C-alpha cells in the first residue's frame, strides 16, 4: 500500500475522531442543556445532514475541477473554523448555525478522501476503500469514548477537543497532502452529474425497492444517535457510559469482521439472505432496547444492533454494484448513498416528533414496524429479480 494512502487513512481517522466528539452529544446538549424539545433537536440534525448532502455534491464537483488537495483544504478549513467558534458560541441559534456549516464542511471532505484513495491505489481495488472505512470506525470508537468522557466534565471541553483534532487534521492536509497526485477526472460521481438515460429500467426499479427498505432501516438506526441518546439520560445512564456504547460499536466492527466473514461463508451465502437476517437482528435489538432499564440492557442491544449493521450496510451497496449496467456504477452507488443520507436526515426529526407527541415506547414499536416493512420490501426485491431471471435468464439476478 502506498505511503500516501496511509496518510489518507490517518487523516480520515483524525477527522472522524474529531467529529465523533460531538455527534453522540448533539441531541443531549440541545435537549438537556439548552432545553429544546426532541423535535427541535431533530430539525437541527436534519439541517446538519442536509448540509452534508450539499457538501458531498460540492466536494465531488470541486474534486474534478480543483483536485483533491484544494478541495479537502476548503472542507477542513470550514470544519475547523466552525468547531473553533463552537468553543465560544454555543447558545441554541449559534450552535444550530455552526452545526449546519460543520456538516457542509465535513461533506466536502469525504468524497475527496475516497476518490483520492481510489486514484492513488488503483491496483488495491476495494482494499483502498475498506481501509478508509475501517479508519472511520476507529475514529468513531475513539471519538465516542473520549467525547463522552470530556462531556461528562464539560461540554466546552468536548468543543475544545473537537477543534484541536480539526486543527491537527488541517495541519496534516496542509503539509502532508500537498503534491498528492489526483489526475483522474470523473472519479467522483453523484446522482445529479449523470446525463445518460436509464435503459435497464427493471434493474433500476429493483434497486429502488431495495433502497426503500434501506431508507427505513437508517431511519431506525439513527435513533441511537438522537432520541435513544436522550432516553439513556432519563434512565440515569451517564455520558461516559453512553459513549462507551459507541466505542463498543466501532471496535466490534473493526475486530469482529473476521468472525462475521467466517459466519457468512458457512451459513449465509447470498447477499440478500445477509440483509434479511440483518433486518431480523435489527428488530431484536429494538425489542431489547425497548425493555432496557439500565446500562447493561443498552449494551446488549448495541451489540445486537452492531451485528445487524455489519450484515446490512455493506450488503446494499454490493447489490447495487451487481445491478449496475456498464458505466453506471457511480450512478447506482449515488442512489444508495443518497438513501442512507436521507435516512440520517429524516430519522432524528421523525423520532423526535413521535417521542414528543406520544412516548418513547410508541417510538420503539414504530421503529420495529419500519424494520418489518424493510424486511418485506427486500422479499419483494428478491421475488422481482427471480421473476426477471425466469423471463430473461441472461440478466443478472443479483440475489
Q: Enumerate the domain spans of the chain.
A: 1-174, 198-399
Q: Name the pTM for this structure.
A: 0.74
pLDDT of residue 326: 66
Q: In terms of Cα–Cα distance, which of 133, 116, 81, 88 is closest to 7? A: 116
Distance CA 350, CA 319 (A): 28
Question: Is there a contact between 168 and 14 (Cβ–Cβ < 8 Å)?
Answer: yes
At the top level of CATH, the class of 198-399 is: mainly alpha
One fold for both 1-174 and 198-399?
yes
Q: In terms of Cα–Cα distance, which of 253, 239, 53, 38 is closest to 148? A: 239
Q: In terms of Cα–Cα distance, which of 26, 166, 169 is closest to 92? A: 26
CATH of domain 1-174: 1.20.1250.20
Distance CA 350, CA 290 (A): 17
Distances (CA, A) of 144 to 161, 244, 247: 12, 7, 6
pLDDT of residue 121: 67
What are the tens digits of pLDDT across the range 311-352? Answer: 888 888 778 877 877 656 556 766 777 788 789 888 988 998
- Calculate the average pLDDT of the chain: 82
Residue 219 clears pLDDT 70, i.e. is over it: yes
Q: Name, in order, each residue with C-beta under 8 angstroms of 53's C-beta and a sequence gap of 6 or more.
A: 107, 338, 341, 345
Cβ-in-10-Å burial (0-12, 13-18, 19+) of 93 comes to: exposed
pLDDT of residue 397: 52
Which of 41-45, 126-130, 172-176 comes out lowest in average pLDDT? 126-130
What are the tens digits of pLDDT across the range 31-90? Answer: 888 888 888 888 898 898 888 888 877 877 787 778 778 888 999 999 999 999 999 998
CA angle, 326 then 327 then 328, to 5°: 95
The DSSP line for 68-89 is HHHHHHHHHHHHHHHHHHHHH-
Q: In terms of Cα–Cα distance, which of 190, 172, 183 is closest to 122? A: 183
Cell output for 68? 483533491
Distances (CA, A) of 233 to 145, 213, 226, 229, 291: 16, 30, 11, 7, 15
What are the tens digits of pLDDT across the range 234-288? Answer: 898 887 888 789 888 888 887 887 888 788 778 877 888 889 999 999 999 999 9
Q: In terms of Cα–Cα distance, which of 226, 25, 188 is closest to 108? A: 188
pLDDT of residue 395: 56
Amino acid at each position: 500500500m502506498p505511503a500516501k494512502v496511509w496518510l489518507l487513512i490517518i487523516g480520515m481517522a483524525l477527522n472522524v475522531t474529531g467529529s465523533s466528539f460531538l455527534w453522540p452529544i448533539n441531541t443531549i446538549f440541545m435537549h438537556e442543556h439548552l432545553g429544546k424539545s426532541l423535535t427541535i433537536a431533530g430539525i437541527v440534525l436534519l439541517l446538519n445532514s442536509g448540509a452534508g448532502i450539499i457538501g458531498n455534491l460540492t466536494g465531488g464537483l470541486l474534486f474534478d475541477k480543483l483536485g483533491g488537495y484544494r478541495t479537502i483544504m476548503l472542507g477542513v478549513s470550514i470544519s475547523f473554523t466552525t468547531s473553533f467558534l463552537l468553543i465560544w458560541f454555543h447558545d441554541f441559534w449559534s450552535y444550530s448555525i455552526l452545526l449546519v456549516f460543520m456538516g457542509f464542511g465535513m461533506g466536502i471532505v469525504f468524497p475527496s478522501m475516497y476518490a483520492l484513495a481510489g486514484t492513488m491505489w488503483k491496483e488495491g481495488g476495494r482494499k483502498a476503500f475498506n481501509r478508509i472505512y475501517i479508519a472511520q470506525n476507529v475514529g468513531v470508537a475513539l471519538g465516542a469514548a473520549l467525547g463522552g468522557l470530556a462531556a461528562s466534565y464539560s461540554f466546552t471541553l468536548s468543543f475544545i477537543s473537537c477543534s484541536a483534532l480539526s486543527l491537527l487534521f488541517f495541519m496534516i492536509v496542509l503539509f502532508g497532502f500537498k503534491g498528492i497526485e489526483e489526475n483522474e477526472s470523473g472519479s467522483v460521481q453523484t446522482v445529479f452529474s449523470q446525463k445518460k438515460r436509464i435503459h435497464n429500467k427493471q434493474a433500476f426499479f429493483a434497486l429502488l425497492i431495495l433502497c426503500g427498505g434501506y431508507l427505513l432501516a437508517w431511519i431506525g438506526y439513527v435513533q441511537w444517535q438522537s432520541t435513544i441518546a436522550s432516553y439513556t439520560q432519563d434512565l440515569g445512564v451517564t455520558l461516559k457510559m453512553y459513549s462507551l456504547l459507541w466505542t463498543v460499536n466501532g471496535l466490534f466492527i473493526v475486530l469482529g469482521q473476521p468472525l462475521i466473514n467466517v459466519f457468512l461463508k458457512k451459513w449465509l451465502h447470498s447477499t440478500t439472505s445477509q440483509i434479511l437476517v440483518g433486518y431480523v437482528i435489527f428488530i431484536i435489538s429494538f425489542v431489547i432496547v425497548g425493555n432496557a432499564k439500565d446500562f447493561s440492557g443498552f449494551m446488549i442491544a448495541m451489540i445486537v444492533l452492531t451485528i445487524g449493521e455489519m450484515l446490512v450496510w455493506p450488503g446494499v451497496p454490493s447489490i447495487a454494484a451487481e445491478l449496475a449496467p456498464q458505466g453506471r456504477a457511480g450512478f447506482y452507488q449515488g442512489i444508495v448513498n443518497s438513501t442512507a443520507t436521507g435516512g440520517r436526515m429524516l430519522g432524528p426529526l421523525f423520532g423526535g416528533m413521535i417521542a414528543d407527541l406520544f412516548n418513547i415506547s410508541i417510538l420503539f414499536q414504530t421503529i420495529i414496524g419500519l424494520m418489518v416493512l424493510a424486511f418485506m420490501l427486500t422479499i419483494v426485491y428478491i421475488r422481482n429479480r427471480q421473476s426477471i431471471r425466469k423471463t430473461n435468464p441472461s440478466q443478472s439476478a443479483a440475489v
